[in-house]
Amino acid sequence: MKSIRRLYKVGPGPSSSHTIGPRNAAKMFKQKYKSDKYSVALYGSLAATGKGHLTDHIIEKELHPSKVEFAWFPNEELEIHPNGMIFSDGLNELEIYSIGGGEIIVQGFPSTDSEDIYPQVDFREIKNWCLLNEKQLHDYVYNYEDDSIKKFLFEIWNTMKNTIDKGLSKSGILYGGLDVRKRAKELFESLENENIFKIESARENALVSSFAFAVSEENASGNTVVTAPTCGASGVLPAVLKGAQSKYNFSDDVIVDALAAAAVIGNVIKHNASISGAEAGCQAEVGTACSMAAAAYGTLLNFPIEQIETACEIALEHNLGLTCDPVLGLVQIPCIERNAVGALRAVDACDLSNILHRDNKVSFDKVVQTMYETGKDMNRNYRETSQGGLAKNY
């Protein structure tokens, strides 16, 4: 498996596969072929939801001041992945795929992938390593990554916190035509109203939700977020971490350990299945984020690794079949609320694991396999094309 640096990326929303990936593709093509005019053909999900996801905007911005002509083919998919692009300068042409989380691959070119740094390939092998060496998931990360990984994770955490703070400070209407009102600030400020939150647990849930809304609204605005594992699901993990820190006063050092543990889960899913909504639906995005957040929360509460596995399995299992059908191709409905629900579900999964881990029947790896197979079976209308579900019936 690759470094967790490949999982956590800082970049502009609203979609890692539709903004960060295309931005990286445009940057690469521009560096390779200088021209005053380019043409870009977008296929499949990139074409179907590219306008709402700002795909053309980010490509134009990266290729500026050169002129760019776009062609859109929402009902056609190229060979390798639903998120296909063809860049051309009139003489040279590259077929590029945005495969999720900001990653890209180029048809016909040798992979520039970094080498695997983790010899283990699934959670079973990772768990066995941890048990054999009497280590936790974050120790596993620190054993294989370089000495600067903690510094990297501190930077990731600081970015997450900054995004939350910015989201909580803003009000107004999100762009795109749905007239969705930013609600993070309102939700956060309502926490002091005892008439609304008469039970402490309800207040705690609302606090976590306000953090998820803050990040997701920043993401929907095209502002800076951390892929965890994607932009569209970027609100889940920071909401759980910030909520736990607010409740238990965890230090940033402890939060960084939890971020490392969460990355292990994201890496396993990315390596063995998919984190792309265009490939496997929202179960691959918010489902993965929910599972990552469960690992992080379990780490903060000092769960043994068997219990962390159960929490992650519960979190992902009950997102199986979750569709990606954003209204108008915008990462707003149902995406923003879904991040909040995913964060709350991660905490609930940890609570359930207190009892269920003793005789759990389904391994985390089996749920990962099932999620990927479910995604492959899913009708393309429900895989980030905005041609079915809520996007159709809104």
Asked whether residue 241 is assigned to any structural domain, the reply reads: yes
Report the pLDDT value the prediction gives residue 112, as an integer from 0 to 100. 60
| Residue type, position 81, single letter | H
Q: How many CA atoms lie within 13 A of 302 on its CB side?
A: 2
Inter-axis angle of helices 252-272 and 123-133, nearest 10: 140
| Residue type, position 135, single letter | K
Is 160 found in the same domain as 79? Answer: no
Asked whether residue 62 is assigned to any structural domain, the reply reads: yes
Is 130 found in the same domain as 58? Answer: no
Is 138 found in the same domain as 65? Answer: no
Is 100 found in the same domain as 127? Answer: no
Is 180 found in the same domain as 85? Answer: no
Final residue before a domain boundary, out of 106, 133, 157: 106
Asked whether residue 112 is assigned to any structural domain, the reply reads: no
Do the bridges between strand 37-43 and strand 93-100 make them parallel or antiparallel, or are there none, so unpaired? unpaired
Is 251 found in the same domain as 221? Answer: yes
Report the pLDDT value the prediction gives residue 192, as an integer from 0 to 100. 86
Is 284 found in the same domain as 150? Answer: yes
CATH number, domain of 78, equals 3.30.1330.90
| pTM value surpassing 0.75 | yes
Final residue before a domain boundary, out of 43, 74, 106: 106
Is 179 found in the same domain as 76? Answer: no
Report the pLDDT value the prediction gives residue 180, as an integer from 0 to 100. 98
What's the domain count of the chain? 2
Contact 44, 93 (CB under 8 A): no
Report the pLDDT value the prediction gives residue 111, as an integer from 0 to 100. 67
Give me the residues of the chain with pLDDT under 50, please. Answer: none
Q: Which long-range contacts (CB under 8 A, 24 or more apart) does 76-80 make?
A: 76/43, 76/44, 76/47, 77/43, 77/44, 77/380, 78/43, 78/44, 78/107, 79/107, 80/105, 80/107
Asked whether residue 113 is assigned to any structural domain, the reply reads: no
Asked whether residue 154 is assigned to any structural domain, the reply reads: yes
Q: What angle do CA 59, 61, 66 make, to 5 degrees?
A: 90
Report the pLDDT value the prediction gives residue 109, as an integer from 0 to 100. 80
Report the pLDDT value the prediction gives residue 359, as an integer from 0 to 100. 84
Q: How far apart are CA 275 and CA 288, in angstroms?
A: 7
Final residue before a domain boundary, out of 106, 141, 158: 106
Is 219 found in the same domain as 131? Answer: yes
Give the domain range for residue 100. Answer: 4-106
Asked whether residue 111 is assigned to any structural domain, the reply reads: no
Taking alpha carbons only, the member of 238, 219, 372, 224 closest to residue 292 is: 238
Asked whether residue 138 is assigned to any structural domain, the reply reads: yes
Is 200 found in the same domain as 152? Answer: yes
Is 72 found in the same domain as 17? Answer: yes
Asked whether residue 227 is assigned to any structural domain, the reply reads: yes
Is 140 found in the same domain as 97? Answer: no
pLDDT in tens, 29-80: 999 999 999 999 999 999 999 999 999 999 999 999 999 999 999 999 998 9
Contact 30, 39 (CB under 8 A): no
